[in-house]
Amino acid sequence: MKRAAQPAETAQVGRSVPRLESWLKVTGRAEYVHNLRLPGMLYGKIFRSTVSHGRIKRLDVSAAQAVAGVYRVVTSKEVRELVPEPYYGPAFHDQPILALDKVRHVGEPVAVVLASDPHVAEEAAALIVAEYEPLAAVYDEVEAMTSNAIVHDELKPAGTFPDLKHLKGKANTNIALDFHLRRGDAAGALKGAHRVFEHRFRTQQVMHTPLEPLVSVAECTDRTLTIHTASQSPSFVRIEIARLLGWPENRIRVRVPFLGGGFGAKLYIKLEALVSVLSLLTKKPVKISLSMEEQFFTITKHATTFRIRSGVDRDGKILARECEVWWNGGAYADIGPRVTQKSGFTAPGPYDIEHVAVDSYALYTNLPPAGALRGFGIPQLVWAYESHTDMMARELGADPVEFRRRNLLREGRPQATGTVMRDAAIEKVLDRTADLLDWKKPFDRGTGSVRRGRGIAIGFKACVSPTTSLAAVSINADGSCIVYCSTVDMGQGSDTAMAQIAAEVLKVATESIRVVHSDTDVTPYDMATLGSRSLFHMGNAVRLAAEDAVKKLDQLRSETQLPADASVKDVFRKRYGMQAGNVLGTASFVPGYTAPDANGLTDNATPFWMVGASGVEVEVDTETGRVRVTRLINVADAGTPINPRIVETQLSGASIMQLGFTLSEKMEFDAEGQLRNASLAEYKIPGFLDLPGEIVNEAVVAEQRSGPFGAKGVGETSTFGVSPAIANAIQDAVGVRLTSLPLSAEAIYMAMQKK
């Protein structure tokens, strides 16, 4: 039976199809919002707070307004005329479109200058004068628990997501969410343990650094608003802008072309509310394109402190583990409360521990806001629990791999929340990593000032739940097919993967499928492109929609009484009297989920588990403290890859990104909350000269039975193990243990001096 113009009898999933948009990207013609210019468009340049916490005493925009070529200067006063309650956010409605009365972090937007020439707008913005009455500020996440400096007078939970509905408004606190998990009796078991180990770890604040900085454009008519935006969550943008304006959703259109990187930076509302208001106020198209510097003030990754305590018996079996994690969310909650809760599910690590206690706190501080960054909090946790696990093994005189194996969480066993592990190849991933690292073979430990070491670490993640994806698949009268979905291709290759999934069902060549980019007027609802959820959720929705389209075409064929092998063209000719019409398959996919109970326990925490391990070999220069990663091995359970080549690129790319967060990247703040290195000259992301000598990436043979054709998400998996594996290898090489990231040459050198 032939269903389309380009029949394909061979499997479409499992093929390393080059990305469908390849030609566009290598010729510089791919569409990004960065490129968009509309007739009559104004450019907005943001005037930002210079203090970390203060009451706005005076705001003088007259000099800016007087600059030739300035169209208008907008402050929160004008914003409020249009939106009386101009606060947004996915978890809390805490973030003002422009600062109202107070500023809560350095770099917070206070006013905007609009001009048709961006240089004029920038020059004028520099002429705005603001005076602040300073307020007590807090920067450290642990201090924020008890500080007298309160970032928000009153908390305003949003309740947009079902799993955040339990958030209650609180006053006189910086705690935006506290998640607690109790399984068994950790305190009691620790008392009876043979040995108890307690350590404290820290991660630093870092930034996503997409090379296409955040950018949004809005244009309006009397009753419609179109937002062109570099966003990973177009459906959320529509819902939230509709709520702010009090409009029905059908008057707001959100369009997203390709993204020049996302990594979690381009989620929820970033510039969209601001450009929408500016366009409505001026009745002109308005574009705001951030500079690289401004991105550092917009969204970052949580700094964390993690106190972890474990008790073992005489056989080296971990009996109990207590985890206390403090998440530095900055001045606005963004998705921090969700990071706090969801990562809390797995804070004790991929180990079979009978007694666990987790306390995880999302905290407001006077730093730039933090959100999700490639791992939704998991890399911060793995950093701590895999450093801790390694330290325990060494103290106990056990082989680090064997110690992990003895305690590993295996298929069919419940993890911390009580959810039973299914389709999580934890043991296989650990074993394969050890094999690829030649763990059991003799190892050259170096000589003189160059000492060598190796380390291993494994982490896992529960995919965020519950979330919804809808998709539609059209079979046209000529047999060609179109996929409509709101998954955003930010470089992860989703267009290609969705086309492969649809092609597999439709029995056509992947290359013949067209995937329509997110446009809320056209593509159906999707929760967002985040947390490695899209391939699983949207992949399932696309598969089901394609099956629905096939079913509808088969119905049409039987209605026309044509034989089963009649071509698509013939079916439509017979039905409509000409080659016209189409069938539209639709589907939604929402996996099951059980919300955690009062003890944080649930029998269904996630639709699937991601498992990733890294093994490294390092050289440490004992005279300078400089560490060089000579081999980096990443092994993942990615289920059955849809596109092995893209999976490999994702594993490789994520691990190199994590290498930056491990060795060099750190946002440096002074005592007043001023950021001192907001540029790529002073904030070093990995380049060619920072690469490991050798990188090996592998997806173990595995299947996610509930995933589309056995697949699951993989965008974050190889971020998990990199940092602790390197710290473990450094200890192996030179005997010093670092407990704070980044593992800079200076930190290593200083630790060696103290030894």
Partner 1 sequence: MRKEIRFRLNGAAVSVQVAPHETLVEVLQEAFGLYGARESCGQGLCGCCTVLVNGTAVSGCLYLGALAENAEIQTIEGGAAGNSGLDAVQEAFVESGAFQCGFCTPGFILMTRQLLDETPEPSEDEIRHYLSGNLCRCAAYPQIIEAVQLAARKRRQR
Please report whether residue 652 would count as binding partner 1 according to CB under 8 A. yes
Please report whether residue 375 would count as binding partner 1 according to CB under 8 A. no
Binding mask 597-636 for partner 1 (x = CB under 8 A): ----------------------------------------
The one among 257, 264, 686, 721 contacting partner 1 by CB under 8 A = 686
Is the CB of 90 or the CB of 262 nearer to partner 1?
262
Is the CB of 170 or the CB of 684 nearer to partner 1?
684
Q: What whole-number distance in Å separates Cα of residue 150 and Cα of residue 135?
A: 9
For helices 272-282 and 234-245, give the axis angle rounded to 10 degrees.
50
Instruction: Name the H helices within 437-567.
Output: 494-506, 534-559
Q: What whole-number distance in Å separates Cα of residue 495 and Cα of residue 479?
A: 20
CB of 696 to partner 1, least distance (A): 10
The one among 8, 12, 15, 34 contacting partner 1 by CB under 8 A = 34
Q: What whole-number distance in Å separates Cα of residue 104 and Cα of residue 137?
A: 8
Is the CB of 37 or the CB of 57 nearer to partner 1?
37
For β-strands 370-371 and 300-301, DSSP reports them as parallel
Query: In terms of Cα–Cα distance, which of 294, 601, 613 is closest to 437?
Result: 613
The one among 687, 705, 746, 750 contacting partner 1 by CB under 8 A = 687
Binding mask 262-281 for partner 1 (x = CB under 8 A): xx------------------
**Alpha-carbon dihedral sign for residues 601, 339, 651, 440:** negative
The one among 173, 492, 518, 540 contacting partner 1 by CB under 8 A = 492
Pick out residues in 73-112 that bind partner 1 (CB under 8 A).
none
Is the CB of 96 or the CB of 260 nearer to partner 1?
260
Active site residue 703: no
Pick out residues in 195-214 that bind partner 1 (CB under 8 A).
209-213
Query: In terms of Cα–Cα distance, which of 634, 734, 722, 748 is closest to 383?
Result: 722
Pick out residues in 284-303 that bind partner 1 (CB under 8 A).
291-293
CB of 528 to partner 1, least distance (A): 17
Is the CB of 651 or the CB of 741 nearer to partner 1?
651
Q: Are 618 and 630 in contact (CB under 8 A)?
A: yes
Is the CB of 31 or the CB of 352 nearer to partner 1?
31
Please report whether residue 685 would count as binding partner 1 according to CB under 8 A. yes
The one among 679, 701, 746, 750 contacting partner 1 by CB under 8 A = 679
Number of C-beta neighbours around residue 397 at 10 A? 8
Q: How far apart are the first and last CA of the chain?
A: 73
CB of 651 to partner 1, least distance (A): 11
133: exposed, middle or buried (Cβ count in 10 Å: 0-12, 13-18, 19+): exposed
CB of 288 to partner 1, least distance (A): 15
Pick out residues in 450-479 that bind partner 1 (CB under 8 A).
none
Which whole-number Å values give the CA distances from 154 to 94, 138, 151, 169, in the listed order? 9, 16, 9, 7
Pick out residues in 316-335 that bind partner 1 (CB under 8 A).
none
Please report whether residue 172 would count as binding partner 1 according to CB under 8 A. no
- Choices 308-316, 415-423, 500-508, 687-695 (CB under 8 A): range interacting with partner 1: 687-695
Residue 548 CA to its chain's centroid (Å): 31
Q: Which residues of 212-227 are buried (b: 16+ CB within 10 A; e: fewer)?
A: bbbbbbbbbeeeebbb
Please report whether residue 595 would count as binding partner 1 according to CB under 8 A. no
Is the CB of 549 or the CB of 616 nearer to partner 1?
616
Number of C-beta neighbours around residue 521 at 10 A? 12
Q: Are 610 and 460 in contact (CB under 8 A)?
A: yes
CB of 615 to partner 1, least distance (A): 17
Q: What whole-number distance in Å separates Cα of residue 287 and Cα of residue 33?
A: 9
The one among 65, 579, 649, 740 contacting partner 1 by CB under 8 A = 649
The one among 27, 146, 221, 447 contacting partner 1 by CB under 8 A = 27
Token digits of residue 572: 């439509």
Please report whether residue 397 would count as binding partner 1 according to CB under 8 A. no
**Alpha-carbon dihedral sign for residues 12, 14, 20, 26:** negative
**Nearby residues of 526 by Cβ (< 8 Å), 6 or more positions away:** 234, 235, 468, 469, 470, 485, 486, 487, 518, 534, 537, 538
Type of residue at 576: Y
CB of 25 to partner 1, least distance (A): 3
Type of residue at 599: N
CB of 496 to partner 1, least distance (A): 10
Q: Which residues of 7-17 are buried (b: 16+ CB within 10 A; e: fewer)?
A: ebeeebbbbeb
CB of 46 to partner 1, least distance (A): 15
Give the total of residues touching partner 1 (CB under 8 A): 55
**Nearby residues of 301 by Cβ (< 8 Å), 6 or more positions away:** 205, 206, 207, 208, 264, 370, 371, 373, 661
CB of 212 to partner 1, least distance (A): 5
Q: What whole-number distance in Å separates Cα of residue 541 and Cα of residue 578?
A: 31
**Nearby residues of 259 by Cβ (< 8 Å), 6 or more positions away:** 32, 210, 212, 230, 231, 232, 266, 488, 489, 490, 491
Among candidate residues 212, 703, 716, 746, the one labeled active-site is: 716
Is the CB of 28 or the CB of 397 nearer to partner 1?
28
Between the CA atoms of 439, 199, 746 and 664, what dihedral angle is there, to the nearest 10 degrees? 70
Please report whether residue 19 would count as binding partner 1 according to CB under 8 A. yes
Token digits of residue 736: 């010093």
Task: Please tell me what DSSP assigns to residue 264.
Answer: T
The one among 30, 100, 408, 745 contacting partner 1 by CB under 8 A = 30
CB of 463 to partner 1, least distance (A): 21
The one among 6, 32, 82, 468 contacting partner 1 by CB under 8 A = 32
The one among 157, 260, 379, 591 contacting partner 1 by CB under 8 A = 260
CB of 697 to partner 1, least distance (A): 9
Pick out residues in 117-156 that bind partner 1 (CB under 8 A).
119
Please report whether residue 661 would count as binding partner 1 according to CB under 8 A. no
Token digits of residue 20: 């469908």
CB of 235 to partner 1, least distance (A): 21
The one among 71, 258, 383, 572 contacting partner 1 by CB under 8 A = 258
Residues belonging to the active site = 716
Binding residues vs partner 1 (CB under 8 A): 16, 18-19, 21-30, 32, 34-35, 37, 119, 209-213, 258-263, 291-293, 490-493, 645-646, 649-650, 652-654, 656-657, 679-681, 685-689, 691, 695
